[in-house]
Structure formats: C-alpha cells, structure tokens
Chain A
Amino acid sequence: MPWLLVVPAVLGMAFLVLPLAGLLVRAPWSTLPWRLSEPQVLEALRLSLVTASMATAVCLVLGVPLAWLLARTDFPGRRLLRALVTVPLVLPPVVGGVALLLVLGRRGLIGQWLESAFGFSLPFTTAGVVVAEAFVAMPFLVIAVEGALRAADVRYEEAAATLGASRFTVFRRVTLPLVAPGVLAGAVLCWARALGEFGATITFAGNFPGRTQTMPLAVYLALETEPEAAIVLSLVLLAVSVVILVALRDRWVGAAA
C-alpha cells in the first residue's frame, strides 16, 4: 500500500465526514419533533422551499435558452459571454449581493427606474430572495445544460430539419427531450444551490422572518440565541442534501465510479 497516499486520503475523508457525524451526534433527538413544528422553523422552511423552487423556475426559463445559445450558435464574443456567465460561480456570494444592490437597489441603475415607473422595489422582499438565489444558482444550470447539449448528437437535429422542423420546433421536440436528463440534473443542482444560498440573500434581501429569512439565514441567527434550534435546522438542510445526492447518484457519483 502506498501509505503516502492512503494516510492523507483517510484524513481527508475524516475531515469531510466527521463534522456531519458531529451534527448527528449532537442533535437533540428527543425534542426534535417539537422543534421542527415550531412556527419559526416551519416558516423558514416554507420560505426556503418556495424561493428555491421559484429561483429554479427562473433559471430554467432563462438558463436553458442561454445554454442553447452558448452550445449551438456561433457569434462574436460567445467565448467572452460564456466566461461572464460563469462568474457568479466563483464570485463570493456577498459580492454578488452587493452587485445586485448596486443595480437593482432603490438607488441602483435599474432599481431606480423600476421604483419610479412601477413603484416596485426588489431589495428586502421575497422576490429579492428569489433574485439573489437565481443569480448565484443559474451558472450551475447553464453549465449542466450546455454540457448536455454539447454531448448530444446534432445529427438528430439535422434529421428533424430535413423533416421540415423549424429551429424552434427542433429545439422543443428533439433537442430538449434528448437533453432532458441533463436539464433535470442541472435543475436539481441549481435548486440545491439556491436552497443553501446565504451571502447574496442576506446582503440583497436582508433577514426578515417570514419574508426573507430562509433556512441558512435562520441557522446563522439561531446559532447565537438557540444553538439547539440551529442544529435542528442544519439537520433539515443536511437531509435535503442527502436526498439530492441519492437522486443524482447515477449521474455524478455513478459516472465518476
């Protein structure tokens, strides 16, 4: 056995697994049902699920066509655009939140106009949470779908064209069904990212219970006042992550094996 590889590998594994085990060990199992049914917890959970789902919907509606544009067309600046699309992936989420404030805030470039034209303002609203989550999560979807599109056989699209299908019909009836597994995987990943979003949300949307206080924000807040509640909320998020991992095991975990 090459110990120089095995020892760090085991340490690395412990480093990844132990904190999660600690979470399970320290969980207040006896008071768990009661804690979970607390209105504050339920409210945060509901808000998280709703905003993450809406953010995923936004990402699907905008991100799938964007992925198609990047994968199937050629225009000057396409590579630059592709790089820009992935920026939120590496950007610290807090910076994303600040950037969103500067553009969509009350005094922001677009926000100012939104306010004067429609009397409508995004920051510190539930819609603001959706915007922050979508901003951070969309690159995951775009990259997954673009990868699926590049891997798909374009000859099927050509076959559809010779049968009289317009480009949009080709996309709807051939391309999309062929890359459906990729879109689904991207959507799940995007949803998980949106669910865990913290930095951009708290910066752009604030921390108002029932309106913008999602699970991660609630965990952070509870940690100072009620550590047990923080553990319970964390357990819920951990459970969600595990469920997603199981759902996608064939696509990623399996593919790597």
Chain B
Amino acid sequence: MTLRARIVVERPAFRLDLDLTVGRGEVVTLLGPNGAGKTTALRALAGLTPLTEGSIELDGVRIDREPAERRPVGVVFQDYLLFPHLSALDNVAFGPRCRGRSKAEARLLARELLDRMGLAEFASVRPRRLSGGQAQRVALARALAVEPRLLLLDEPLAALDAHTRLEIRSELRRRLSGFDGATVLVTHDPLDAMVLADRLVVIENGAVVQEGTPTEIARRPRTDYVARLVGLNLYRGEGDGDRVRVGDLAFAAEEHVTGPAFVAFAPRAVALYRARPDGSPRNLWEGRIDGVERHGDNVRVHVEGPVPVAADVTPAAVAELDLTPGRPIWVSVKAAETHAYPA
C-alpha cells in the first residue's frame, strides 16, 4: 500500500471522518455532492488543512506532522492556480527549484515534462494565454515536477467547457495511468469519476457511504445520491429469498436475497400502461404521473405511487399514453432487469 490515511477534520457543524487507502499506481476518486468534504480531505492530505485526528502514512512514513512544503505530494488545484507572473516553463520549474535543484537543472526537467505533455512550444507563454486544456496539462506537469509519491487532483475537469472536456478526460486518464505513485482525485461529476477512477469512494456529509470499482458502484448503488448519479431507481426493503418487500410492494428480481436488501433497476426497464395490462405480469402497480422531462433521445417520466419511480419511454409513446401530470398510470418492471442485493 502506498497511501494509508485516516482523516478527521472537525469544524463547527461539520465533521469529516474518512479512511482511505490507495495502492501504487492506483487512481482513487472521491465522489460526492458539494459540501461533502471532498476538497477538505484533499487539503488535509496536502497539508493545507490540519487534521483534528488521524494520521497519514505514505510508503510507510507518517507525513501528517510535516508542513505542506515538506510532503512528497503534488497537487493539481481547481482552476489550476498557475502563477500568473511566471511562464509555463517557470511554473513547472518552480517546484524543483524550491526542492533544491539548480536553476538550469530545474528548467531542463521542466522542459522535458512540457515536451511530454506536448506543450514544448508554449514554454515561454504566460498562463493567461493558455487554453483550459493546456493550462490543465501545465498544472499536471507542475505537480509531477516535484516527483511526488502522492498526486492530488481537485476537480481537474471542472474548469473546462463541455467540448474539450471529453477529449481531455481520456487524455488525463492516460497520463494518470502513467504515474506510478498513488493518485487521489476529487470530483462531483459521476462521468469524470467513472472514467478516471480505478476505485470510487463516495462521500456524503463527511463520511464514506460506498466504495468500489466504477462498475460495482454503477450496478449496485447503496444511497439515493449514488442511485441518482448512476441513473437507477433504488429502494430499500426486506428480502424473503423469493421477493423483496418494499412497503406494500413485492419485487421479483434476478437474484434471491434474504434479509435487508436493495432493489435497483434502470428507468428503461420500466413499462407504462394506460389500463391494467392483461395476464399477470409481476412487479406491477398503479401510480400517478408526477412530471415529464426530456432525457437524451427519450422522455423521462416520473411517477408517484407506493414508491416513486422514473421511467424512460420513447417520444411516440408519450403521445400515445397521454402523459399529462396527475393522470393515473400502470407501472410494471421486468423481473429479469430488476436486481436485488443485500443492504
């Protein structure tokens, strides 16, 4: 293990308490809503916010008593914070220079890093002349220039517009996989998190609510926040081996679970009917339309009832079903696309 940390930061009306381990070359993403404590955790790792309790161990050495300038940590800040009065080259050379390299050595190293980032021709340019993507690469080069064992990135894509974001995201993914230390990345964007992370740590109100690979988290969310992020309907109930009871409803699912259980299914697994459908499909109930909104090529329908549910239907179906808010509607979910797992 490279990073092993217990981070406790207490403030009036807020407590962050987080256990974090990150292996060599692993990218762990802290994902959570605004105010969950992600940035505070990052600042604590960097030494910019003191720990109330806990410890931070990097390669077996405790660093939590060291000031920020003596930690083997590189940080890519939100908005990058490139020094506006220095050229791209001098921004990257700043760290090595502070850590005892000669001016010539530091600049040589900086030039190499900028080369590797494909920014050789921008070496003498001031930060305000760089595009968002270029600035991000300079910021990454600057953080890597101090040869850190731990790399921290705070919302590295938030400052970019939607167009460049896609391209820069996959490029960042590639560059991060080339780094052999531990990486901790903070984001509130689920897509960034899914693409960039080897492992996700979801934080809400200062505590970890779920942890796992992006695939696990996307399939088996454990809180409403995570379910919303990955776009699933999620309910908590009681499994009896055959079905999972949620209030008055009983869901038949692919898996058989006994005891406290979650039920999750995608909005596209939900079918809507004006009248009670023939036969006896399972997972059927009557609700009332709450709202209708556009969702990609489809239309997302929110239905209230014994449980609130989101359903995706085609625009053609909207006209056919007469989906006006307040109208009663029948909801059914395919058992084959309903997943149950222990809570």
Listed in ascending order, the chain A residues whose CB lies under 8 Å from chain B are: 153, 155-156, 158-166, 169, 173-174, 177-178, 180
Contact = CB atoms under 8 A, between A and B. Distances in A.
B172 interface: no
B94 A165 contact: yes
Contact of B68 (A155, A158, A174): A158
Interface in B66-118: 67-71, 73-75, 77, 79, 81, 83-85, 94-95, 98-99
Nearest to B67: A161
Given A158-B48, A158-B68, A163 B95 contact: yes
A174 B83 contact: yes
B146 A163 contact: yes
Contact of A162 (B73, B83, B84, B85): B73
B83 to A, nearest CB: 6
Contacts, number: 60
Given A159-B77, A161-B67, A174-B83, 13 more contacts: A155-B79, A161-B47, A161-B68, A161-B69, A162-B73, A163-B98, A163-B146, A164-B95, A165-B94, A173-B94, A177-B85, A178-B84, A180-B85
- Nearest 6 pairs between A and B by C-beta? A163-B95, A164-B98, A161-B68, A177-B85, A164-B99, A159-B81
Contacts of B85: 177-178, 180
A164 B81 contact: no
Interface string B36-51: 0000000000111000
Given A161-B67, A162-B73, A165-B98, A155 B142 contact: no
Contacts of A155: 77, 79, 81
B90 to A, nearest CB: 9
A158 B80 CA distance: 12
Interface of B: 46-48, 67-71, 73-75, 77, 79, 81, 83-85, 94-95, 98-99, 142-143, 145-146
B96 to A, nearest CB: 8
B23 to A, nearest CB: 22
B132 to A, nearest CB: 17
Contacts of A174: 83
Nearest to B100: A164
Contacts of A166: 69, 98
Contacts of B75: 159, 162
Contacts of B69: 161-166
A233 B279 CA distance: 108
A199 B94 CA distance: 48
Nearest to A155: B81
A165 B96 CA distance: 10
B48 A162 contact: yes
Contacts of B68: 158, 161-162
B84 A169 contact: no
B98 A169 contact: yes
B95 A156 contact: no
A178 B85 CA distance: 7
Contacts of A164: 69-70, 95, 98-99, 146
A198 to B, nearest CB: 39
A164 B75 CA distance: 11
Nearest to B84: A178
A109 B338 CA distance: 89
B114 to A, nearest CB: 16
Contacts of B94: 160, 163, 165, 173
B98 A162 contact: no
A156 B84 CA distance: 9
A156 B85 CA distance: 11
Contacts of B46: 162
B48 A161 contact: yes
A154 to B, nearest CB: 10
A72 to B, nearest CB: 15
A76 to B, nearest CB: 20
A25 B333 CA distance: 95
A180 B85 CA distance: 10
A151 to B, nearest CB: 14
> Which of A153, A164, A165, A166 gathers the greatest number of chain B CB atoms within 10 Å?
A164
Contacts of A165: 69, 94, 98
Nearest to B79: A155
Contacts of A153: 81
A173 B94 CA distance: 9
12 contacts: A155-B79, A155-B81, A156-B81, A158-B48, A159-B77, A160-B83, A162-B47, A162-B48, A163-B95, A164-B95, A165-B94, A180-B85
